[in-house]
Chain A
Amino acid sequence: MSKIKNKMLKIWKVIKDFSILGKLSLVMLVLVILMAIFATSLSVYPYDFSSGDALMAPGNGHFLGTDDLGIDLWAQICYGARISLLIGFGTAILAALGGGMIGVFSGYVGGVPDKIIMRIIDIIMVIPDFPLMVLLAALLGPSLLNVVIVLALLSWVTPARIVRSQVMMLKEQTYIKVAETYGASNWYLIWRHFLPAVFPILAVNIIRLTGRAIVSEAGLSFLGLGDPTSKSWGLIIHYATSFPGIYYTNFWKWWLLYPWLILTLVVMSLAFLSRELERVMDPRLRIRA
C-alpha cells in the first residue's frame, strides 16, 4: 500500500513541476480518457443509430447536433474517443516497445547486426511515411488492427534510434563494465540497467507517437482508408467533408467543427505533455529552464 502511495507521490512531484499548459493538457487528456471509458453512458442517444432528423443544428436535446443520417454527434464523438485513443496508445506502445527492444539489441550487440538494423532504420526514415501508410492501408484492407499495425510499422524507428544511442553510451559506463566482468548476463543487463535508464525517453516517445498515430489514423479515415465500421473521429470528418458542398451550408459549423476541435485539442495536449515530460525528465533541460 505504501509502495503505491510512494509511486503516487512521485508522480505528483513530477506533475507539480509542470507548467500551466502542461497541467491543462493533462486535465484535458484525463477528461478524454474518461470520455472514452464511459462513452456509451455519456449520451442518451446511441452512437450508431439515427435518433433525429438529418443535419439538425445543436440544441433540441442533441447537444452537438446530428450528422447526415440523424445520428447524434456528441454520442459519436464520445465513442470516437475510444477508437482514437485505442489506436493512438496501441500504436505508440507497440512501436515504442518494439523500437525500444530493437534499439537495445542493436546498441548493445553492435557489429554487423547493428549495421544492418541502422541501414533499415535509415531507409524507413527517408521514405515519406504518409504515402507509404496509404499504400499499406489500401493493400491490407480497412480494419482497426491493420491501421495499428501499419502505423506501428512506420513509427518504431525513432524510439529505436534514440534508445540505441543511449545504450551505446551506457555500455561504456564503468558500472556496466564492472557488472559485465562480474559475469552479468545480457538479459540481466538489459532488464536491470538499460531498460530503467531508457524508460523516461521511451515514455516521452510513447506520448509523442500517440499524437502522431491519432492524426495519422484520422488522415487515413479521412481518405476513406480507415475501418468504416470503427466510427473514429477521422471517419466523422471523412463523412462530413465528403458531403457535397458542405462549406456552402451551415452544416460544417457542427458536423465538421466539433470532431476537428476535439481531435486538435487531444493532439495538442499530447504534444504539450510530451514536451513537459521531456523537460522534467531531462536534467539538462531542467537546469536551463
Chain B
Amino acid sequence: MLNIRLKQWTVLLLIASLVVMLPGCGNTQSKSEEENNLANQKQVEVIKLAGGDWGYPTPYGIYPRGPGSRKMALIFDSLVKTDTDSNLIPKLAIEWQASDDGLVYTLKLRPDVKWNDGEAFTAEDVVFSYNYQKTYPTVSAADFSKIASMEVADPQTVKITITEANAKFLTTLTGFMIIPKHVWETVTDPNNYQDAKAVVGTGPYKLTDYSKELGSYRYVINEYFWGSEPKVKELKFIPVSEEILAFEQGDVDRISITPDVLDRFENNDEYEVMQYVTTWAYRLYFNMNTQPEFANVTFRQALAYAINRQDLVDKIERGAAVPGNPGVLHPTNKLYNKDVEQYPYDTKKAEELLDSIGFKDTDGDKIRENASGEKLSFMLLADEGSARLADLIKQDLSLVGIEINVQTTDTKSRDARFAAGDFEMVINGSGGGEDLSEITNIKKSAKATSTTAQVIGYNNPEVDRLYTAQLNATDPAEQLKLSGELQSIVAQELPKLTLYYTNTIAVHRPKVYDGWSKNTYHDDDRENFVAD
C-alpha cells in the first residue's frame, strides 16, 4: 500500500516538476502581475464543486440564500449589473439613456440574443418579466416600487417610466432577472413550476441535471450564449461529506478551508491558496416585539459591551475574521465611518448599564430580574453552523447576569423562523445587510427576502430618512457624509449587533483550473467561469 502511494507521489512530483520547468523561468513573475486569471485560462472540460440543495435554479425555485441565487444566475441574466465599485455594467441592456426630466429611461437591448432553447430574445420578454414578476414576486424580488410603467418601444428597445427622478434608478434593476415569455406566460404557479422549460435562460450555462435529494446539479455550456465563450464546458455540483478528503482525491476542484489546515496547502506547489476579506458576517438580532427588554436601547448597549467580539474571532474562527463594527459596515467598505461608538469588551460597563435601567439580581441566583421580577432569560436561536458561536455568547452574557438558552436548528428552519419573527434572539449569517436596508421601515418590494425592521420591531424615522437620502445621493462626498451619520445612529442604537465578518480561505489546483476570480470568494459564481 505504502509502496503504491510512494510511486504515485514520485510520478506526481515528476509531472509537477516538468510542468514547472517547461514554460521557462519568466512565467512566475507575470503570474503575480496578471489582473484577471480568467483571460489567460484555457477552456477546460469539467469543474466539480461541492453541492448541496439550494432549490431549482429558477428565479422562483431557489432558496433565498446566496448559493441558490448564484446557481440561478448561471442560467438567467439581468438587464444590468454593478461591479465592485458600483459602476453599471451592461448585460442584456447595452445602452441606456434618461430623459431630461429624469423620469423616462430608454434601454437598448443586446441584439441577436437567443434563449437557450433557440427562441429569440426581444423587448417583449423584458416587459413580460416585469409584469409577471409584479404579479408573482421572485424569491429575491427587485424593487419595482419606483417604476410607473414599462413598455416595448421597438423589439430591441424598452422604455421605463419612473415615479420620481433618481439618478441611481438602474442600480435597482440588478436583481431583475429576465424570464422568457414563451415559457412563463402560461404558468400560474411559478413557485412550484419545475419543468425542464423553467430553466430556459439567456445565461452562459444550461441545467441538464438536478437532484434535490442529493443536492447535485450539472450544467453545460449554453451554445446560444451572447457573451464570450465560458472557460469551463461542464459544471458539476456533487454531494461531498468530507471536503478536504474530496479535494485531495480530486473529487472536487476547489474548497474553502479553516486556518488550522492552511499549512497543509500553503507550502505545496500543487495547490494555490487564495484569501479573501469578505463582508459575510454573523449578526445578532433582538426581537423587540415580543421581548420588551430589547426595546430598551441601554439594554442592547449593555449586551454589546458584554459580548467579547474579539474572543469570538479568536476562538470560533481562529483569527480568520474581523470583529464586528457596531456601525454594521465592514471596515473596508468605502462608506465606513470609523468614528462610531465601538463598545469595547467591558463587563463592568455592561453591569453598570444593566444596573442603571433597574435590571438587578434581587434573589441571589446570579441572574438579573427585570422590573416585574422576571428573570432575564432569553432563547437564542442559531443554526448548526453557528451553534458554538451561540455557546460563547451564552458564556459571555452569563458573566453579567443574563441567562441564555441556546436552541439550534438547521439553516432553513432558522431562516424561516427568522423571517416569521419566531425568535427571541437569533444569530443570522449573511453576505448582504451592508446597505442597512433591513433596519429601516421602508417597503422595498412586495416580498421581502431578508428580515426587515417590522420583524425585529425597530422603528426610527430618522434612520429611514437618512437611509433613503444616502441611497439617492449622487455626490459621493454627500453620500459618505449621510451614510456616516446613519452609521453613528445605528451604532448608538444597535438594532442589530454585528459579531464578526468572516474571511475566506479558498484552495484550488492551478494546474486543473486557474480562472478563479479575485473579486468573489464564491466557487459557484459565474464570474469564475465567464468573462462578461
Contact = CB atoms under 8 A, between A and B. Distances in A.
A50 B395 contact: yes
B392 A69 contact: yes
A68 B316 contact: yes
A70 B395 CA distance: 11
Given A224-B384, A245-B243, A245-B244, A69 B260 contact: no
Nearest to A46: B395
Candidate in B242, B243, B260, B387 with the most chain A CB atoms within 10 angstroms: B260
B31 interface: no
Contacts of B395: 49-50, 69
Interface in B383-413: 384, 387-388, 391-392, 395, 398, 406, 408
Main SS at interface, chain B: helix
Contacts of B243: 244-245
B36 to A, nearest CB: 30
Nearest to A251: B260
A93 B244 CA distance: 44
A248 B242 CA distance: 11
A251 B243 CA distance: 17
B7 interface: no
A245 B260 contact: yes
A69 B391 contact: yes
A239 interface: yes
Contacts of B469: none
A55 B318 CA distance: 9
Contact of B315 (A49, A54, A239, A249): A54
Given A69-B391, A69-B392, A54 B260 contact: no
B264 interface: yes
Interface of B: 242-244, 257-258, 260-261, 264, 314-316, 318, 384, 387-388, 391-392, 395, 398, 406, 408
Nearest to A224: B384
A50 B260 contact: no
A53 interface: yes
Contacts of B264: 248
Contacts of A242: 384
B315 A50 contact: yes
A248 B244 contact: yes
Contacts of A228: 387, 406, 408
B408 A239 contact: no
Interface in A37-93: 49-50, 53-55, 68-70
Main SS at interface, chain A: loop
Nearest to A249: B260
Contacts of A49: 395, 398
Contacts of A55: 260, 318
B507 to A, nearest CB: 11
A191 B44 CA distance: 80
Contacts of B398: 49
Interface in A224-262: 224, 228, 239, 242, 244-245, 247-249, 251
Nearest to A239: B388
B136 to A, nearest CB: 35
A244 B388 contact: no
A245 B257 contact: yes
Contacts of A239: 388
A69 B315 contact: yes
Contacts of B257: 244-245
Given A69-B388, A69-B392, A54 B261 contact: no
Given A248-B264, A251-B260, A54 B391 contact: no
Contact of A68 (B242, B261, B384, B388): B388
Contacts of A251: 260
A247 B257 CA distance: 13
B285 to A, nearest CB: 21
17 contacts: A49-B395, A49-B398, A50-B395, A53-B314, A53-B315, A55-B260, A69-B315, A69-B388, A69-B392, A70-B315, A228-B406, A228-B408, A244-B258, A245-B257, A245-B261, A248-B244, A249-B260
A245 to B, nearest CB: 5
Candidate in A49, A55, A224, A248 with the most chain B CB atoms within 10 angstroms: A248
B23 to A, nearest CB: 31
A53 B310 CA distance: 12
Contacts of A70: 315
A50 B314 CA distance: 13
A220 to B, nearest CB: 15
A239 B385 CA distance: 11
A54 B257 CA distance: 18
Contacts of B318: 54-55
B321 to A, nearest CB: 13
Given A53-B315, A54-B314, A55-B260, 4 more contacts: A54-B316, A244-B257, A245-B258, A251-B260
Contacts of B408: 228
Contacts of B244: 245, 248
Nearest to B387: A228
Candidate in A70, A242, A245, A249 with the most chain B CB atoms within 10 angstroms: A245
A249 B387 CA distance: 21
A85 to B, nearest CB: 24
Nearest to A248: B261
A74 B473 CA distance: 58
Candidate in B264, B314, B391 with the most chain A CB atoms within 10 angstroms: B391
Nearest to A70: B315
A141 to B, nearest CB: 11
Contacts of A50: 315, 392, 395
Contacts of A224: 384
Q: Can you list the 10 inter-chain pairs with the closest CB atoms, starting with the nearest?
A: A54-B315, A249-B260, A248-B261, A245-B244, A245-B261, A248-B244, A244-B258, A49-B395, A69-B315, A69-B392
A227 to B, nearest CB: 12
Contacts of A248: 244, 260-261, 264
A245 B244 CA distance: 7
Contacts of B242: 245, 247
